[in-house]
Amino acid sequence: MNTWQQPRTSHRREAGMISIIVTLILMLVISLIVLGFATVSRREQRSSLDRQLSAQAFFAAESGINDARKVIIAKVKANEPIPEKTDCKPNSDYNGSAPAYSNPSNKLNADGTVSYPCLLVSTKLRTLTVSPVTAGGSSTSLPLEPDGVMTNLHIDWQALSTPLAVQIAKCKGAGTSNDAFPRNNVSEWECPYGVVRMDIVPIGPTLSRLAMSSTNPLGQKTIFFYPTNNSSEIIQPYALSNGAVAEMKCQEATGCDVDVNGIPNGNYMLRISGIYVDGAVTITAQSVIKGPDLDLKNGQVEIDVTGKAQDVLRRIQVRLPIASVETPDYALQSGSSICKRFLSSPLGFSIPSISNQDTNNPMCRPL
């Protein structure tokens, strides 16, 4: 009897030990699952909090932009210089207790956890930026007043989305004649870069009729820059004929650029508009080609603000025109067709009978 009972006792002990080990393993697996869910839950909670704080920091930065903009507008209206702000420390121009339009503390809530701790303002810029330049939209006018002797104007055109090399290959090659963009609508334009129209008009105390004349090789210019899949640097002379179609170099990594050389030193007004494709244009002025960029005065002001919500930071940079310049895009503009074939004299007004006139326009029907 005893020789048979001993193995049975050992078997029961081994079965109990296995049960304990299985239970411990199951408890360990369940604990790991619970810890995993807790980690995911904390991570989602933190991600949601970060998104909320990021939005608050962004709105705080926008508040700083608006506060600085109010100061700038007030200075411009008072015909006073716009004060520079080159560090994050509060100063009397943008953070003092007076005038009433400033925010003395930069704090946007009661406990100060939402604020914009750094606000910078600069009027000494070396570029003029227009973004977006809308194809078919209204033009943008900016003063170009270099702080130094300018002979070269560098123009960069960037697409709002980066195109592929296979798309750039559809742009015209170098040396294309003036029929470079005879398309009637956007759907027929295959190049991912657009055409930039730029009017360069001399202004200033030495302004004369000769300087404004389109027949003067160094007078005002209207130039259409069209994209080419050219890898070589392109330099266009300012003495181009008025209304010229000129090439600009376009590549996948850098976008399009062109230099306009031989510009008479002085101040100018630029009017920029786009054709076919929306983009962004950056202008720099230089004393020589590839030389140091000159400071550009009275064109734009840059506001740089960092917003903060607890430990989350968001930074915004904006460019604002110092003075609002609105110029019409056309000498004569109408919502309907305009008939130009009419005769006016002290004796009366008459519309001659011409077979190809628009007879649906009452101003084009003979009396």
Q: CA nearest 272: which of 263, 264, 280? A: 280
Q: Which residues, including other chains, have CB under 8 Å from residue 249's CB and lie 6 or more apart?
A: 228, 230, 231, 232, 233, 234, 256, 257, 258
Local structure of 350: helix, strand or coil: strand
Note whether 193 and 238 are same-domain residues. yes
Same domain, 83 and 147: no
Amino acid at 328: P
Position 151 scores a pLDDT of 92
Same domain, 97 and 144: no
Cα 264 to Cα 12, 268, 342: the distances in Å are 105, 10, 41
Give all strands (DSSP E) within 241-367, no chain letters.
244-251, 255-261, 267-275, 279-286, 296-297, 300-309, 312-321, 343-345, 348-350
Are residue 40 and residue 84 in the same domain, yes or no?
yes
> How many CA atoms lie within 13 Å of 362's alpha carbon, on the beta-carbon side?
0
Q: Write down the residue that tokens 């550009």 correspond to.
A: 296
95 with 223, same domain? no
Range of the domain at 355: 336-367
The three-class DSSP label of residue 343 is strand
Per DSSP, the three-state class of 281 is strand
What's the burial of 48, exposed, middle or buried (CB within 10 Å: 0-12/13-18/19+)? exposed
Is the domain of 211 the same as that of 310?
Answer: no
Angle formed at CA 224 by CA 218 and CA 225, multiple of 5 degrees = 105
Same domain, 279 and 136: yes
Give residue 259's pLDDT.
94
Judge if 54 and 117 occupy the same domain: yes
pLDDT at 305: 93
Asked if residue 159 and residue 262 are part of one domain, the reply reads yes
- Omega of the bond prior to 237 within 30 degrees of 0, cis? no
266, 342: one domain: no
Residue 357 burial (CB count, 10 A): 17
Asked, as a colleague might, if the bond just before 99 is cis with ω within 30 of 0, I would say yes
| Geometric angle at alpha carbon 172, from 168 and 175, rounded to 5° | 135
User: H-helix or E-strand containing 305?
Assistant: strand 300-309
How many angstroms separate the Cα of 98 from the Cα of each of 109, 115, 178? 20, 19, 59
121 in the same domain as 30: yes
Structural domain count, the chain? 3
- Residue 158: count of CB within 10 angstroms of its CB: 19
Residue-by-residue pLDDT tens, the chain, 367 positions? 455 555 555 556 666 777 788 888 888 888 888 888 888 878 777 778 888 889 999 999 998 898 888 888 888 888 888 888 888 887 778 865 444 445 556 888 888 888 898 899 998 899 999 888 888 778 888 889 999 999 999 999 988 877 777 677 777 765 554 455 555 556 677 788 888 999 998 887 666 777 777 677 778 889 999 888 877 889 999 988 888 888 898 887 778 899 999 998 888 989 999 888 888 999 999 999 888 999 998 889 999 999 999 888 999 999 888 876 667 777 666 665 566 666 667 777 666 565 555 556 665 655 5
Mark which of 298, 313, 344 sits at the end of a domain: 298
As a 3-state breakdown, the chain gives helix, strand, coil percent values, each rounded to 5, of 25, 30, 45
Domain shared by 183 and 58, yes or no = no
Q: Which helix (H) or strand (E) holds 17?
A: helix 2-77
Helix (H, G, I), strand (E, B) or coil at 139: coil
Question: Which pTM value belongs to this model?
Answer: 0.71
